[in-house]
Structure 1
């Protein structure tokens, strides 16, 4: 795990303050666990289920559990920078510790909710295995893991199709995963 430091002009920061009801949530996929949730994954997969690191990641897998756990993070910056040049990006959410719910709430202005439909993307199989083997409920999984969405961008509904096209042309399988609605600052999974 590493880090990067950058410089930005204050007037160009994307803070989420311009997020409005009916804006669209666009998810960018993440192929694996990344850097958050390893404590729970280790406990479930290695201690509870006693799976060997050199064995298959799950039934039918053609790669080892070690390879599954070491899938590298995706770099989203070039695609998001390209997106900023053509649409009004109102918020950018890097889904790390706290999962989708915890990270989306950070960009919701007062009086708005995020409605997320988990059926709109394919969850990497490793998360289903952790859920099943550890008997972990969906609410806890959503608090700990990205569940296959590593970044969310929030754009006006009128820009959604264009945003998805730009993100896909930059190598990401972007998909609409939800909508911003009037509410009380919650993230709801539909």
Structure 2
């Protein structure tokens, strides 16, 4: 007997199949989670905290998803979704704890499993548990082949160890941690630059990247910074952290500063990755416009006392030389701004 719901275009068994797939995938990774399939996900706060504070974040992947649909490559956007949430939690000084995903799609098909594979990989990189999620099949809401992905994450921190703008001081050094590429912001502009204003497609190979398809370069997943940030938090030497996402340097760095301080950024201090220079070239964008939109090769920024600068750089670069580098300093100024000193080298 046909279920009336199926006549409306909804497969009533699809949710069960997705839950089964997630349980099996978690089991293969050695982390069986009995929350999957329940009405809510549970997480037990570890022992040892005196005044634990839960830090939460939710985000999506934005119009980068349109590129994934066009290329028919869906195994990286789940990583992006986890990254956008987890990196915000880390910027607050919290240890990532758990994650939930939400996938809305016109028709549940093989793309969902590919998306979830990325979510599972992101959770592994971010060192947090996947405790639940939702896959919503909405045939009239989303055209065939399209979908949206969002996530929710939570982390834990001692109340007195949370990052606060009041901890950042005049003269602090700003240290950048390398990004993996464009991450997951600015893609409405990226698609306009490459696919509307210029005669490129997803399979194009630019002269600057003769061995790579443009679509693959743009879909490089967002870097998750758990492995890099947690050792820095343990030193208790970090005064502030900024996650460089939408709004670039100009919007995100001031979020970790008190009202009486500003930031001086010197682009010549690091090698801005070639991809950003290509975006600037084809988009005909100024340095200021680039730094106001993209991460410019810097996914996270930490503020430290000048006396601790070398120590923090050693910690960051001990396993992967070159991933940590000084990008500027904090200065006294009332407008809480970000000033670029010089241009891109």
Partner of 1:23: 172
Structure-2 separation of matches of 1:160 and 1:117: 16
Q: Cα distance, 1:9 vs. partner?
A: 2.4
TM-score normalised to the size of structure 1?
A: 0.94
Structure-2 separation of matches of 1:58 and 1:126: 12
Inter-CA distance 7–57: structure 2 relative to 1 (3 Å threshold): farther
Structure-2 separation of matches of 1:57 and 1:175: 29
Partner of 1:187: 338
Structure 1 residue 107 and structure 2 residue 107: aligned? no
Structure with larger RCO (C-alpha < 8 A, sep 6+):
1
Instruction: Give the conservation status (yes or no) of the 8 Å contact 2:247–2:294.
Output: yes
- Between 1:71-80 and 1:22-31, the stretch displaced more is 71-80
Q: How does 1:79-98 map to 2 (within 5 A)?
A: 79-98=228-247
Structure-1 separation of matches of 2:227 and 2:177: 13
Structure-2 separation of matches of 1:30 and 1:65: 18
What 5-or-longer segments of structure 2 have no aligned partner? Answer: 1-79, 86-152
Deviations 1:109-149 (A, max 9, x none): 12111011111112122221221212112222111100110
Q: How does 1:1-16 map to 2 (within 5 A)?
A: 1-2=80-81, 3=85, 4-16=153-165
Inter-CA distance 17–58: structure 2 relative to 1 (3 Å threshold): farther
Partner of 1:166: 315
Structure-2 separation of matches of 1:165 and 1:60: 32
Count of aligned residue pairs for this structure pair: 190
What 5-or-longer segments of structure 1 have no aligned partner? Answer: none
Instruction: Give the conservation status (yes or no) of the 8 Å contact 2:173–2:306.
Output: yes
SS in 1 for 2:326: strand
Partner of 1:41: 190
Structure-2 separation of matches of 1:23 and 1:58: 40
Q: Highest CA radius of gyration, 1 or 2?
A: 2
Instruction: Give the conservation status (yes or no) of the 8 Å contact 1:87–1:159.
Output: no
How large is the RMSD of aligned CA atoms in angstroms?
1.5
TM-score normalised to the size of structure 2?
A: 0.53
Partner of 2:325: 175
Q: Cα distance, 1:170 vs. partner?
A: 4.5
Structure-1 separation of matches of 2:155 and 2:256: 20
Structure 1 runs, 4 residues or longer, greater than 6 Å off: none
Inter-CA distance 48–123: structure 2 relative to 1 (3 Å threshold): same
Partner of 2:137: none
Instruction: Give the conservation status (yes or no) of the 8 Å contact 1:112–1:182.
Output: yes
Partner of 2:222: 73
Partner of 1:51: 200
Inter-CA distance 9–131: structure 2 relative to 1 (3 Å threshold): same
Structure-1 separation of matches of 2:258 and 2:292: 20
